[in-house]
Chain A
Amino acid sequence: MNVIFTVIKKELTDTLRDKRTLISAIIVPALIIPLLLFGVTKLQKILMDKEETKALKIAFIDAPESIRSEFEEDSFMLLEDVDLETGKTDIQNDELDAVLEFDSDFMSKIDGMGSANLNLYYKSTNLLLYNRISDKIGLLKSQILDDRIQKLNISAEALTPIVISKQDIASQKEQIGKTVGGFLPYIFIIFCFLGCMYPAIDLITGEKERGTIETLLTSPASRFKILVGKMITISIVGLSAAFMTILGMMVGLKFLPDIPLDFLDSINDILSTKFIVMLFGMLFPLSIFFAGLLSAIVIRAKSFKEAQSIVTPLNFVVIIPAMVALMPSVELNWQTVWVPILNIALATKEIIAGSIQVSQYAVIVLSLTLMAFAMCYFSFRQFSRDDMVLK
């Protein structure tokens, strides 16, 4: 056991002095969520403010005077004498925001209690334009409807025979669990993997490339103990990366401005001690699984560069099951509990929603532990081969 601790102590000291590992396992995970939150909320706010206050240039074709007058305000610039084709070209060239083309018998249909048609030409990439115009038209529509109800002398209720009152009994925590909950595990899993990646390459391929493995193998430490020490170090760094992601998220949410209060409350509620303990209960065997998998793979490489090129595509392999968990019909059941990565992603959603079954959680931890042991054994088999270890 002393030999394993000696290896871990040395490898941790060595690894924590490696800039690449520090960046990928500590700095990036700690900053990514705050930066994402800050960047997205700030950008969204700027764009929305800009779109809401922007004066829309609109061309009217055959517009009745009563409707045109509704649009005569600062936030709309109304253009006259534009034919449809020129209008469409101007929209394409971003010289015009929209064209409103009214049927020639528009007003007579309205007056005759009919249904009048109006064509709206615009670019869907023009954020908020449709909402702003349909809000205006909506006001007109309600005025016309009120007039008609009065003329026909019927009650407004007569036109809405059934009213559906939505009573959502899902808690906000559950709602967020199904939405943000799908996204959260994805981040933890990816950073846990990325956290394991660089130390694995450095401690296994790096040692082989530098030639230090040869002198290490002439020490009384057995290959098994050397490998166990290295794999524990790799998984510690992987877990640290996942932990830094949570820490970054908690600190970011606490200090960043412009985050809606109800969202903030729900996220704070999600990031409870129970959630973190349960999450790390799964990430612990997963990080050992990653350490075993990566060690077994990078040992085949002769250089750091070669190892990087072998391991980089693995990112996608890790991402796929995490993404499958985002699909609406994929749920945690007695089959999916056995699929590594997918099971963690699904279980995290359930933990957040508060609907995780203890038996399913136990099977997930057990299956991940078994996978981790199997992968470590496979890695040891590789590490025992002279043609793999020596240059």
Chain B
Amino acid sequence: MIDIQHVSKKYKLSKKKQKELQTKASSIYAVKDVSFTCQPGRVFSLLGPNGAGKTTLLRMISTILKPSSGQILVDGLNVENQAQAVRRKIGFLTGSTNLYDRLNPGEIVKYFADLHGMDKNTFLKRKEMLFDQLNIHDFQKKPISQLSTGMKQKVSIARTMIHDPSVVIFDEPTSGLDVITANSIIDLIKQCKADGKTIIFSSHIMSEVDLLCDDLAIINKGELLYNDSMENFRTLSSGNSLTESFIQTVNQAQTPA
């Protein structure tokens, strides 16, 4: 479970940045007083336009960034005080298939398994299962630089799931991927849900959100605009498409009262 309570992330602005943003403020909120909960066995979708604060929020959940205020608990563990324990529980996947070009899939997955302190037997069993499931065996000895985007994404999935995380974080996991590769991610999210894992994902693709999502939150300019179940959002949309409802929610928040 992920429990987020009154979380904010504030950045100091350099003089150069102040000029760029045409502001005199010495700091800016990337995320401001956001609270929500992601339940195990459900898919939580984080929606928002570019620069809304989605990635900052996901980075805070995955302990890469520290919140300026508020509290984030992952399976009851605090991301600030128990960061290492939190990292043992999470898997983090993005759409950009960032891997080490000169290593092969086997080496990359072994590297992350070692960083997670997995013992040899557990690693081998888990690797065998994932490589079977994702059809990686055929190219497991090839350097990453020689693989297609689809193959790379499969390796990224194996790397993310090797330690069997209970919480999986997807940051725009299908952006820039072809339909077939994107589908493998959707399958993975479905599988994670079936396994009872806690899933949070950010996306711009409404069809994916519609297909997968159980709960959602919409944020814009760092602030939470909506947080409820997908079912309630659909009811609220009263016949509008998901995209139209999303745009309406964002625009309403931007219109001065």
Contacts and interface: CB of A to CB of B under 8 A. Distances in A.
Are A and B interaction partners?
Answer: yes
Given A3-B115, A6-B111, A6-B114, A219 B102 contact: no
Contacts of B111: 6, 10
Given A6-B114, A10-B103, A212-B100, A218 B159 contact: no
Nearest to A17: B102
B69 interface: no
Contacts, number: 73
B116 A220 contact: yes
A219 B91 CA distance: 8
A220 B64 contact: no
B87 interface: yes
A161 to B, nearest CB: 77
B70 interface: no
Chain A facing B: main interface SS: helix
B62 A218 contact: yes
A221 interface: yes
B237 interface: no
Interface string A203-223: 000000011101111111110
A2 B117 contact: yes
Nearest to B93: A215
A18 interface: yes
A220 B115 contact: yes
Given A218-B64, A220-B84, A6 B100 contact: no
Nearest to A202: B102
Interface string B35-77: 0000000000000000000000001001111100000000000
Contacts of B98: 210-212, 214-215
Contacts of A18: 102
Of A214, A217, A220, A222, most buried by chain B (CB within 10 Å of CB) is: A220
Contacts of B115: 3, 6-7, 216, 219-221
23 contacts: A3-B115, A6-B111, A6-B115, A10-B100, A13-B103, A14-B103, A17-B143, A210-B98, A210-B99, A211-B96, A212-B98, A212-B100, A214-B98, A215-B160, A217-B64, A218-B63, A218-B92, A219-B112, A220-B117, A222-B84, A386-B64, A386-B65, A386-B66
Interface of A: 2-3, 6-7, 10, 13-14, 17-18, 210-212, 214-222, 386, 390
